[in-house]
Each structure stands twice: as C-alpha cells, then as structure tokens.
Amino acid sequence: MSDIEFKDKFIGFVDILGFKELVDAAEAGMGMSLTQLLEILNDLGSLEDQAHFKKYGPTTCPESTYVQRDLNFRLTQISDCVVVSSEVSPAGLINLVSHCWGAGHKGDGTQGGRP
C-alpha cells in the first residue's frame, strides 16, 4: 500500500516571462546584471520561506482562520518559475497570494514580500 495522501490545496504559479532574453541581455552587458537576475530567482522563494511558516505561522492576516499553523505551505522552484501551495483556508489563501505578489514585485518599487 502507498502512504501517499492527497489534499485539496490552493496553488499559485509565478513565472518570469522572457527570462532567457534577460539573461542574454545581461551577458551582452545590457539591462540587469547576472547578479541581479540571480537575486530575482532567489526572491521567487526558498526552503527558508517554508521554514518561516513552520516557525511563525501565517504572517499576512495572522488572525485569519487556518487548519495547520504552517498552512501546509510548500514551494517548488524550477528555473525561472515557482509553484506554491497552501492549505484551503482564509489564511492559506491570503498568505499564498501575498507570497506570489511579493515574489513578482520585489525590487521593482512596489511593496511586496514579507516585512
């Protein structure tokens, strides 16, 4: 028998459109540097983001209803995109949206990401 358990979850997907062209431009000395592009990739999310939810629970609207304190928050980064998931709850949804918004807007002058 398998120990796999399926759960309903909210899913978010963030992709950096035109990333290959950004890398090509950086290599040609135009636009953003490769260091800046790597920082953008880091902003998509990491295991530290998962650990943050495990340690602190929901950070956006922390009084919202949740099932698990860590919101069953998971992320997988593949190249220039990230897939994020959280439990189906009000806190799960708002924190997933907040993470995706922050991942897409860090460093562009808008407010995004976690305080």
Mean pLDDT, contiguous 10-residue spans, the chain (115 residues): 87 91 92 89 86 93 95 92 95 95 60 36
Distance CA 63, CA 33 (A): 40
Tell me how crowded residue 22 is: count the other CB atoms within 10 A of its CB: 19
Phi-psi region of 85 (alpha: psi -120 to 50; beta: other; left: phi over 0): beta
- The pLDDT assigned to 115 comes to 34
Q: Supply the pLDDT for residue 104.
A: 62
The pLDDT value given to residue 1: 62
